[in-house]
Chains A and B, each alone.
Chain A
Amino acid sequence: AQSVTQLDSHVSVSEGTPVLLRCNYSSSYSPSLFWYVQHPNKGLQLLLKYTSAATLVKGINGFEAEFKKSETSFHLTKPSAHMSDAAEYFCVLLNQAGTALIFGKGTTLSVSS
């Protein structure tokens, strides 16, 4: 079975502190994994992607994610949160056929001043 589990439905941080959004995946094949961000009333935007190259992937806006096969994880991190980072974040797995994206349920990130 192929699936994605986001371990936290809601994460709250203070501005300037680190961000950690957790994601585990399940697949019987070498996965392609992504993180998307969704701001209110805006379309989903690709943050970063892993496609079997370097295990540490750098994305836009200072975000990065590390692929750990042994832990079947693909956690998203950022050293210092900004107010504009408040949004919904989705961990996404490409299906084995390469035809569809499988989304997790999302993590809402709140950033307080």
Chain B
Amino acid sequence: EAGVAQSPRYKIIEKRQSVAFWCNPISGHATLYWYQQILGQGPKLLIQFQNNGVVDDSQLPKDRFSAERLKGVDSTLKIQPAKLEDSAVYLCASSTRQTEQYFGPGTRLTVT
């Protein structure tokens, strides 16, 4: 079966610009996650969706980050405006059960 797809794979922007990442989960996976992985650290959950509803967004910096999952399939994560500290790999994962998460290859964001 096809895995979790993410695009773009790499993105370089200047601070204060906006950027969007796209994720297509594994077909049939109701739960979708966005993680932020800063260099040298483990991934940190930003937001979790169950179908098109938000389950947990307690770690999402809502003043600049937003995410949506229209129709309960694809998802988009947006940052506006970006800061230098947002440089990281943004990982998308999906699952059918809480404990089985499948990860995409990630989008590496560099903010200059």
Residue ranges of A at the interface with B (Cβ–Cβ < 8 Å): 4, 32, 34, 36, 41-46, 49, 51, 90, 92, 94, 97-101, 103-106
Contacts and interface: CB of A to CB of B under 8 A. Distances in A.
A105 B4 CA distance: 23
Interface of B: 3-4, 40-45, 48, 55-56, 91, 93, 98-106
A46 B100 contact: yes
18 contacts: A4-B42, A41-B105, A42-B105, A43-B4, A43-B91, A43-B103, A44-B93, A45-B103, A46-B100, A90-B42, A90-B43, A98-B98, A98-B99, A100-B48, A101-B45, A103-B42, A105-B40, A106-B42
Contact of A44 (B40, B48, B103): B103
Contacts of B42: 4, 90, 92, 103-106
Given A94-B99, A105-B40, A43 B104 contact: yes
A46 B3 CA distance: 13
A99 to B, nearest CB: 5
